[in-house]
Amino acid sequence: MIRYLLLASFVLKFSIGEAQVKTLKPWLMPEMGLQIGATEPSGDLRLQGGIKHQNWFYGVGAAVDFYRFRSYPVYLHVQRVFSFRGTSPFLTASAGYNFKQSSDTVPTWIGSRVYERTGGYYAELGGGFIFKVFKKERLQLSVVKNIKQVKESYDIDYWMGPGQSRSARSTDLYTMHRVAVRIGWKF
């Protein structure tokens, strides 16, 4: 199996050509951030990677988001870096799906209630600056506005009198708008 992967990589390298290989560079960036919204501040950890073509970064990413409900966003990422008087400002955008699969059982006065949570969309838009460290653009500071969605379903029991109760299914859709401040290191 490894021989076939090595053979495929050599074939791709020589079939693409040298001119195209020099313009596409791989990149990887771990990030950590602080998110502030309507509830208490929380953190997130992210890992993004992809290819760089001129001043554009294209890639995919995954994160662990601790804001209100712990969830796992997976997203497509694009970033445009500008050169302005020796600085490197950038704009960034991401969109994807926020994975959340869990259930919690909470006691109530007539038994217990099971909350089931599922994911929804995930998106962000923002900007920041890239700073040079050891003569290479490495340290990235960003501020983004992001949105994550989580759907919560549970059964509500209504007491209708002695020995009588009725159940109804309730579904809440949480769309959480936050501002995140992040620091990352680009490889």
CATH code assigned at 172: 2.40.160
Q: Is residue 1 a part of any domain in this protein?
A: no
Model pLDDT, residue 9: 52
As given in the structure block, the two tokens for residue 111 are 């038994």
Q: Is residue 15 a part of any domain in this protein?
A: no
Three-state secondary structure call for residue 2: helix
Q: Is residue 121 a part of any domain in this protein?
A: yes
Cβ neighbours around 130 below 10 Å, total:
21
> Which residues contact residue 178 at a Cβ distance below 8 angstroms, ignoring those fewer than 6 apart?
35, 36, 37, 67, 145, 146, 147, 148
Model pLDDT, residue 92: 95
Cβ neighbours around 25 below 10 Å, total:
12
> Which residues contact residue 162 at a Cβ distance below 8 angstroms, ignoring those fewer than 6 apart?
none
CA separation for the pair 43, 36 (Å, rounded): 9
As given in the structure block, the two tokens for residue 110 are 């007539």
Q: Is residue 130 a part of any domain in this protein?
A: yes
Bridge partner residues of 40 (DSSP): none
Q: Give the range of the structural domain holding residue 82, as residue numbers without chain letter.
A: 25-185
Q: 111-145 pLDDT, tens per residue?
A: 777 888 888 899 999 999 988 888 777 889 999 99
Model pLDDT, residue 182: 94
Instruction: Write out 117-166 in H/E/C secondary structure.
Output: EECEEEEEEEEEEEEEECCEEEEEEEEEEEEEEEEEEEEEEEEEECCEEE
Give whichever of 2-16, 38-52, 151-165 has the largest mean pLDDT. 38-52
Q: Is residue 16 a part of any domain in this protein?
A: no
Q: Is the pLDDT at 75 greater than 60, yes or no?
A: yes
CA separation for the pair 10, 120 (Å, rounded): 40
Q: Is residue 169 a part of any domain in this protein?
A: yes
Q: Is residue 5 a part of any domain in this protein?
A: no
Between 105 and 49, the more confident residue is 49
Q: Is residue 54 a part of any domain in this protein?
A: yes
CA gyration radius, the chain:
23
Query: What is the tally of structural domains in the chain?
Result: 1
CA separation for the pair 186, 49 (Å, rounded): 9
Model pLDDT, residue 106: 77
CA separation for the pair 40, 52 (Å, rounded): 36
